[in-house]
Structure 1
Amino acid sequence: MKQRQGRRTTRGTTGRTRRQLLAAAVGAAAVLATTAPAPTAAARDRNADAVAAAYLDLQQCSYYSEALADHFTTVLTPSGDGRYSTGTRVSPTPDTAATCGGGNGVHVPVPLLAGVKALDLSGGRYLNLHQCDYYYERNTDHFTTLVTPSGDGRYSTGTKVSDTPETQMACGYGNGNHVPHVALSGVKALDLRAGGYLNLHQCVYYAQSTTNHLTTLVPIADARFTTGTNVSNAADTRPVCGPGNGAHVLVPLLSAVKSFKLR
């Protein structure tokens, strides 16, 4: 009898112990679930508005005509002339070299002034586009950089993605001949959470009297050379450009718009 009673006592004790352990485990889990920090409202907003992980590979192609002493820049492939094409795109991988068209034989590529900037679109809220115009008065020659050229940091720009909207343009000093031309330079902070599409508008102008092109992508103080570059919930299909100043007139063949889906 004593042995049977001992076995019953052992089994009862073991059962109580198992139940106690189970209760303790359930209680601990409840405590962990209760004390785990909930996502903050800011974190939920960031997740809801997050841009898909990808790179905006901003490619800049520069062309020059020696006969005309004329530079000009494309960042988007012109709507009407693929000879000045660029490889600007959104991609899961960062590009390291610009892909540029061969030009038309008169204007030919200048590799030194070409460049590419792989901008991580998930790396911040704002795409800060810095447009730097340089001007050589003797040759009445403009040219524009949106990214720092691969071969000449004297024409650098501050284009980047960050959590801070920038209001002051950052441009290199030029080479002494071509110097910064503030009137056609500017910065645009594009809020990447403001819509589902990044719409880049490229506007190219030409002055017959001085055989000179100039390019704008960023809306600037001089509305005659403004552009429609924006973030919105609609994909733009036509470039929006200022009319020029009478001397420089818009060249639709070399202007363009390209829309990039953000999410």
Structure 2
Amino acid sequence: MNLHQCVYSNGSFLYTNVLSNTPNTPFNTGTNVSDTRDTAVKCGPATTGWRLDSPNVAVQSLDRVRGRYLNLHQCVYTNDRFLYTNVLSNTPNTPFNTGTNISYTPDSAVNCGPAVVGWRLDSANVAVQSLDLASRRYLNLHQCVYSNGSFLYTNVLSNTPNTPFNTGTNVSDTRDTAVKCGPGAVGWRLDSANTAVLSLDLAPGMLRNFSGEAR
């Protein structure tokens, strides 16, 4: 599984996208399931006024034969002007990196970097979701992006403390065909152009069961 994270700046705030299929195609990523590791991140060219924020851009290749659970850590930071969402453990901006990994055990605590001066964790939007890739065929990755008129907030998890903003991310034997997003809160609305669900078919690659046997 190759999880691409593309972060863009318009000079005022950052926008994080991890999906390859949002309606806002110039910002789409290369996230995919493959039998080979992606060695270079793939990001759309964006649109006028936006540029890639390269310190926060990366691809993380997660080998599904080395573990049962995708432990997806989401770390959201604030500088009191806007929010920045990171789900990867290997961006060049290491103080903001997460604990996202593949393991035979689910992670029970989120792992987030300490950030840098002027930034702090926005704990209401921070969580880890452990997804059992051996139990179902599809990883349905829901991305919900919200706007308050000043900046955007990206969430991909279904279990943050900030429940009105939670998503429908899950594993299932069926593809999700519609994105599931919480209603947000007063002053926030869904930014539909950047919101989508990506269903990744886990069947083509070999998984291992908890005992380590091929299945």
TM-score, normalised relative to structure 1 = 0.74
Residue of structure 2 in register with 1:230 after alignment: 170
Q: Does 1:58 align with 2:19?
A: no
Q: Does 1:99 align with 2:42?
A: yes
Structure 1 residues 116-142: Cα deviation after superposition (integer angstroms, max 9, x where no partner)? 1100112111110000001011xx210
The structure richer in helix per residue is: 1
- Give the Cα separation in 1 of the matches to 2:40 and 2:169: 24
- Give the Cα separation in 1 of the matches to 2:92 and 2:132: 30
Residue number among 156, 180, 204 corresponding to 1:240 in the alignment? 180
Residue of structure 1 in register with 2:53 after alignment: 110
- Give the Cα separation in 2 of the matches to 1:155 and 1:248: 25
Give, in angstroms, the shift of residue 82 of structure 1: 0.5
Residue number among 126, 129, 143 corresponding to 1:202 in the alignment? 143
Q: Does 1:249 align with 2:189?
A: yes
Give, in angstroms, the shift of residue 78 of structure 1: 5.0
Give the counterpart letter for 1:245 in structure 2.
A
Give the counterpart letter for 1:146 in structure 2.
V
Residue of structure 2 in register with 1:19 after alignment: none
Contact in 2 for aligned 1:77/1:256 (Cα 8 Å): no
Unaligned runs of 5+ in 2: 204-215
Give the counterpart letter for 1:87 in structure 2.
G
Contact in 1 for aligned 2:139/2:200 (Cα 8 Å): yes
- Give the Cα separation in 1 of the matches to 2:47 and 2:96: 25
Give the counterpart letter for 1:63 in structure 2.
Y
Give the counterpart letter for 1:122 in structure 2.
V
Structure 1 pair 103–61 and aligned structure 2 pair: CA distance change class (3 A): same
TM-score, normalised relative to structure 2 = 0.90
Structure 1 residues 86-106: Cα deviation after superposition (integer angstroms, max 9, x where no partner)? 000001111122111121222
Residue of structure 1 in register with 2:66 after alignment: 123
Give, in angstroms, the shift of residue 262 of structure 1: 1.2
Residue number among 54, 68, 78 corresponding to 1:135 in the alignment? 78
Residue of structure 1 in register with 2:154 after alignment: 215
Residue of structure 2 in register with 1:13 after alignment: none
Moved over 4 A (4+): none
Give, in angstroms, the shift of residue 149 of structure 1: 5.0
Residue of structure 2 in register with 1:85 after alignment: 28
Larger relative contact order (C-alpha < 8 A, sep ≥ 6)? 2
Structure 1 pair 177–149 and aligned structure 2 pair: CA distance change class (3 A): farther
- Give the Cα separation in 1 of the matches to 2:193 and 2:90: 25
Give, in angstroms, the shift of residue 148 of structure 1: 3.0
Alignment of 1:171-186 (within 5 A): 171-186=112-127
Contact in 2 for aligned 1:149/1:155 (Cα 8 Å): no
Residue of structure 1 in register with 2:100 after alignment: 159
Aligned positions, number: 202
- Could you say which structure has the larger radius of gyration? 1
Give the counterpart letter for 1:61 in structure 2.
C
